[in-house]
Homo-oligomer: A and B are copies of this chain.
């Protein structure tokens, strides 16, 4: 067996064009999709292998956004048709989001194919897609990944619960929001819900709570990171995927999954999530600096650290 890159990080998910309207402005077409936010956020920590499908409308300058970062595009499949398109509008308070359009286009027949060079990936993030496709990704790996993390949504929880259960058996970290946690387990209390999830396979549940931050329920410990108080949130789109990118990117970069590393991953995830919402689309994630990232991690520390 060849030795693999112990820091290799794979993401499989959507790359899309988004039309977004928030109280701070409006943009008709911008690069989006879970895997885009994830890959850009993670790229500040480790090289990223991206598997996705796009249409003929995906142009060179779109591809360049990834190429400018350490994102390997061997798994970017370009097929006839249009790319996934999503349009949404946020309420005045940004607490509510209305989906105005979801045009799956080429994404409707997404069948992720791992290039041979991706099949030994050590860290794997399965963004929110059909759990059957998520499992097919795992089947294509040549070596068991060190860590598999998975996102999902109400659509799959309702319509393909058995497939989701099967995929969860091969997942160490489930990364979802409060509502999804409650829906998947039928349990309102998040700690009790986590116990149900531990029986399904994962040893770690990361609950994303938007402006209220994130909570990790590990079978050995709890860890909480607050939402970062910002004066201006321009566009909440992609915050959760950017969180996942910072989280997994950090873990891949250190190459181990100790309790302390998981806690720091929660912080770096929160850092990237907090940056993502400062500008429209992936704008802010295109050009962060290590200094900015470390500076914000320090501010998270200041926000919560106390002596007693």
Interface residues of A (CB under 8 A from B): 92-93, 188-192, 209, 212-213, 215, 217, 221-226, 229-233, 260, 263-264, 266-267, 297-298, 301-308
Contacts and interface: CB of A to CB of B under 8 A. Distances in A.
B304 A223 contact: yes
Complex copy number for this chain:
2
Contacts of A192: 231
Contact of A303 (B209, B223, B298): B223
Contacts of A230: 189, 191
Given A226-B224, A230-B191, A305 B305 contact: yes
A93 B181 CA distance: 14
Contacts of A190: 229
A12 B304 CA distance: 31
A55 to B, nearest CB: 38
8 A-B pairs with the lowest CB-CB distances in the bound complex, closest first: A224-B226, A304-B304, A212-B212, A263-B306, A191-B231, A224-B303, A93-B188, A191-B229
A93 B187 CA distance: 10
Main DSSP-derived SS at the A contact region: mixed
A280 to B, nearest CB: 18
A249 to B, nearest CB: 15
A306 B301 CA distance: 8
A212 B231 CA distance: 19
A213 B191 CA distance: 16
A226 B303 CA distance: 11
A105 to B, nearest CB: 36
Nearest to A212: B212
A143 to B, nearest CB: 31
B260 A306 contact: yes
7 contacts: A189-B231, A192-B231, A223-B303, A224-B229, A224-B304, A226-B226, A264-B306
A205 to B, nearest CB: 11
A66 to B, nearest CB: 28
A302 B92 CA distance: 36
Contacts of A226: 213, 215, 224, 226
Contacts of A221: 302
